[in-house]
Chain A
Amino acid sequence: PQGDTIKIGLNYELSGDVATYGEASVQGIELAAEEVNAAGGIDGKKIELVKYDTKSDAAEATTLATKLMTQDKVITVIGPATSGGMKATIPVAERQKVPVVSGSATADDVTVDGNGVKQFAFRTCFNDSFQGTAAANYAVKKFSAKKAVILRDSSSDYSKGLADAFRETFTAGGGEIVSEDAYAKGADNFNAVMTKFKGQQFDVIYLPGYYTEAGKAIKQARDLGVTQPILGGDGFDSPVLAEQAGAQLKDVYFTNHYSSADQDPKVQDFIKAFEAKYSAEPNAFNALGYDTLKFVADGVSRATEKTGEGVQRALAETKGFAGVTGTFDVDENHNPVKAVVFIGYDKDGKLFSEKG
């Protein structure tokens, strides 16, 4: 694509079920794009974002990815936020030879499946089994957990992926899953299931879900007197979690890409810039969106040929990209190689973080 701007497509869930994730990702992306443009753009060309709403519908994601690539002629498409939406755009990307990049499509088989690596698909987040495994190991190491219960989000493949990996690792290490249950997205009431858990013997709760429900679940669990440690994934990373759970946010831990307490100037600058623009603390989707745009911009600037294929080659060769959510290389499966961070609120509700 020629012209005086570099067009990047945003194909996100801005309405419907998972609008929260799409909207948050776009906030991060738009902030990053502003920064890149303020710094002179890429080779003197400004980034121009072309943004569409998938309505949280996979077919619409396909339609819009096609539109972005064929009619708007963008050089790369960012989004959708969910794995299902992302998967729906990958065949289009392969056909049109334009890369698609997601900051939050975490399912294991997004970038690689039985048929090999999806050449034009990238992501900047680690995958589900990575987090689930890390959480299981943490549970064993930190709490000497032998028995765990799992409460997952039945409508989310992310949650299922984390739960599956956790279960596998935990039981392989001799642990036992004594009970497992699931809620549907948007659930408000966890009293029933927590009352049920309360009547059982276990050491930790694994709650791989998003903060929207997790905050309520944590609060209701603690209100009912369920005192075991609660573990989660990067879906917990939002100020809303603390707001919802309030004073009951105790003994809660989750795997994440970075810690907002990290004194690395990159992280602190990002948090400051985000708060300045949106007057709210960033969450994981914000940070990942931010990194994804920077990651794409980096690829575009390194690409010798400013085409989809050129960008694809550059992205695949990314080494040592330093983002807010960690410094990483892109591996042969187009996954970022990142370190995991554990964020915790201890028994008194004090925040801490440790490297995994």
Chain B
Amino acid sequence: MKNPLVRQALTLWVPLVLTYVIVLLLVQAGVVDAYMQVTIATICINIVLAVSLNLITGFTGQFSLGHAGFMAIGAYATALVTMRFDSIVGFIGGLLLGGIIAALVGFLIGLPTLRLRGDYIAIATLGMAEIIRILLQNFEFTNGAAGLSPVPQYMDWTWFFVLTVGSVMLIRNFVRSRQGRDAIAVREDEIAAESIGVNTTRSKVLAFTIGAFFGGVAGGMYASYFYVIKPEQFGFLKSIDILVIVVLGGLGSLSGSVIAAFLLAIISTLLQPFPGVRMILYALLLIVIMIFRPQGLLGNRELSLRLLPGLRKRRRDDAGTEAA
């Protein structure tokens, strides 16, 4: 366990590859049935959404209520491209295009609005997402309120695995780097960050753009798996849903977001048999969890094998020894 490369292989790559292979085998053997597959898909999409929003809100401290807007852009781009070019190349192209347009919009919106503080950013991002939704609802080429369907389905377990793990890893790499630390400094104290040479606008816009990119990718995953997209799916409440995952997992904790995405899927499944009261129970649960665990499941810590109970100090970032 001394060699960092060996340790990383044991704690990261081996479990990941095992997870992939085992699920793949279970799917093929029919043990993981169609319903469980849909659930896994939902979890994966939520992970990408939550992790990318966490980058913006949890790490950089910019309270965004508009993540569904980026998701919508990615979903529509992927849908439009794959509906025209129904091939794997079209799918990958659509996914990338969706991410890039979302990132571009994030960049353009971010530049002026990120000068705002706190709740004012929340409302500006909310406004942006609503404008995107309303435009999608009124454009001809997006087919208005009826939305687009059927979007060719390319997403399968392999794609979900690659995209989810890839997104989480890239975002993790980002937050554990110079640029990521700059972003965190902005969250902690913007004026102090500026005074020590952090270009705070650049930092915020960068985080916002990257977050938007992955929000777009998640939208593409969604469109390609669930084959029906409509503007109303990307409303304000969707942004709230994503925020709930992030806060529940812990602002500034990527593993928290991942765990919360699983947890919410489980909660949702458990509540399904009670359609009449499921929302009431869900609401109560939300309140109770927040009262008893206001900092979220993991706070701003990361889950790791070294995080032993009672150990107060956060695990040190071992980024320096991780060069690939």
Spell out A's residues near B (CB within 8 Å): 12, 14-17, 51-53, 55-59, 62-64, 66-67, 69-71, 83-84, 87-88, 91-92, 95-96, 107, 153-157, 159-161
Docked-complex contact B150 and A91, CB < 8 angstroms: yes
Complex: chain A residue closest to B222, CB-CB = A59
Contact A157:B147 (CB < 8 A) given known A63-B39, A87-B228, A88-B228? yes
Most buried by B among A12, A51, A88: A88
Residues on B with beta carbons closer than 8 Å to the beta carbon of A92: 34
Contact mask for chain B residues 26-49; partner A; CB cutoff 8 A; 1 contact, 0 none: 000000011101110010000000
Docked-complex contact A66 and B34, CB < 8 angstroms: yes
Residues on B with beta carbons closer than 8 Å to the beta carbon of A154: 137-138, 144-145
Complex: chain A residue closest to B238, CB-CB = A57
Docked-complex contact A84 and B222, CB < 8 angstroms: no
Docked-complex contact B227 and A88, CB < 8 angstroms: yes
Residues on A with beta carbons closer than 8 Å to the beta carbon of B228: 58, 62, 84, 87-88
Q: List 16 A-B contacts (CB under 8 A).
A: A15-B278, A16-B237, A52-B272, A58-B226, A58-B228, A58-B233, A66-B35, A67-B272, A70-B34, A83-B146, A92-B34, A96-B34, A153-B145, A154-B137, A160-B144, A161-B146
- Give the top 5 A-B pairs by smallest Cβ distance, nearest first: A157-B146, A53-B275, A88-B228, A67-B35, A59-B226
- B149 interface residue (CB < 8 Å to A): yes
Interface size class of B (residues with CB under 8 A): 20 to 34
Contact A59:B42 (CB < 8 A) given known A84-B147, A84-B230, A88-B227? yes
Contact A155:B137 (CB < 8 A) given known A15-B279, A58-B228, A91-B150? yes
Residues on A with beta carbons closer than 8 Å to the beta carbon of B229: 58
Docked-complex contact A156 and B278, CB < 8 angstroms: no
Near A by CB (< 8 A), chain B positions 127-161 give 137-138, 144-147, 149-150, 153
Complex: chain A residue closest to B279, CB-CB = A15
Contact mask for chain B residues 273-304; partner A; CB cutoff 8 A; 1 contact, 0 none: 00110110000000000000000000000000
* Contacts A53-B272, A59-B222 supplied; 15 other A-B pairs, CB < 8 Å: A12-B275, A16-B237, A52-B275, A58-B233, A67-B38, A84-B147, A84-B232, A87-B228, A88-B227, A91-B153, A96-B34, A153-B145, A154-B138, A155-B145, A160-B144
Contact A157:B145 (CB < 8 A) given known A52-B272, A58-B230, A91-B153? yes
Residues on B with beta carbons closer than 8 Å to the beta carbon of A51: 275
Residues on A with beta carbons closer than 8 Å to the beta carbon of B237: 16
Q: Distance in Å from the Cβ of A137 to the closest Cβ of chain B? A: 24
Q: Distance in Å from the Cβ of B162 to the closest Cβ of chain A? A: 21
Docked-complex contact B146 and A84, CB < 8 angstroms: yes
Docked-complex contact A87 and B272, CB < 8 angstroms: no
Complex Cα distance, B275 from A15, in Å, reads 9
Q: Distance in Å from the Cβ of B155 to the closest Cβ of chain A? A: 12
Complex Cα distance, B314 from A56, in Å, reads 42
Residues on B with beta carbons closer than 8 Å to the beta carbon of A83: 146
Complex: chain B residue closest to A90, CB-CB = B150
Complex Cα distance, B183 from A326, in Å, reads 64
Q: Distance in Å from the Cβ of B139 to the closest Cβ of chain A? A: 12
Q: Distance in Å from the Cβ of B278 to the closest Cβ of chain A? A: 6
Residues on B with beta carbons closer than 8 Å to the beta carbon of A157: 144-147, 230
Complex Cα distance, B38 from A70, in Å, reads 11
Residues on A with beta carbons closer than 8 Å to the beta carbon of B272: 52-53, 64, 67
Most buried by B among A15, A56, A107, A161: A15
Spell out B's residues near A (CB within 8 Å): 33-35, 37-39, 42, 137-138, 144-147, 149-150, 153, 222, 226-233, 237, 272, 275-276, 278-279
Residues on A with beta carbons closer than 8 Å to the beta carbon of B231: 155
Contact A59:B233 (CB < 8 A) given known A15-B279, A84-B146, A160-B144? yes
Residues on B with beta carbons closer than 8 Å to the beta carbon of A160: 144-146
Docked-complex contact B145 and A159, CB < 8 angstroms: yes
Complex: chain A residue closest to B229, CB-CB = A58
Complex Cα distance, B150 from A87, in Å, reads 8
Contact A87:B149 (CB < 8 A) given known A63-B38, A71-B33, A71-B35? yes
Complex: chain B residue closest to A107, CB-CB = B146
Most buried by A among B146, B230, B231, B272: B146
Q: Distance in Å from the Cβ of A244 to the closest Cβ of chain B? A: 23
Complex Cα distance, B272 from A71, in Å, reads 13
Q: Distance in Å from the Cβ of A31 to the closest Cβ of chain B? A: 16
Complex Cα distance, B25 from A194, in Å, reads 62
Complex: chain A residue closest to B144, CB-CB = A160
Complex Cα distance, B35 from A153, in Å, reads 34
Complex Cα distance, B222 from A88, in Å, reads 12
Complex: chain B residue closest to A19, CB-CB = B279
Q: Distance in Å from the Cβ of A84 to the closest Cβ of chain B? A: 5
Residues on A with beta carbons closer than 8 Å to the beta carbon of B35: 63, 66-67, 70-71
Q: Distance in Å from the Cβ of B227 to the closest Cβ of chain A? A: 6
Docked-complex contact A66 and B38, CB < 8 angstroms: yes
Complex Cα distance, B32 from A71, in Å, reads 11
- Among B138, B145, B226, the residue within 8 A (CB) of A88 is B226
Most buried by A among B37, B39, B226, B229: B226
Complex Cα distance, B226 from A57, in Å, reads 11
Complex Cα distance, B144 from A353, in Å, reads 33
Q: Distance in Å from the Cβ of B62 to the closest Cβ of chain A? A: 27
Complex Cα distance, B231 from A17, in Å, reads 13
Docked-complex contact B226 and A156, CB < 8 angstroms: no
Complex Cα distance, B33 from A96, in Å, reads 11
Complex Cα distance, B37 from A55, in Å, reads 20
Q: Distance in Å from the Cβ of A69 to the closest Cβ of chain B? A: 8
- Among B145, B153, B275, B276, the residue within 8 A (CB) of A156 is B145
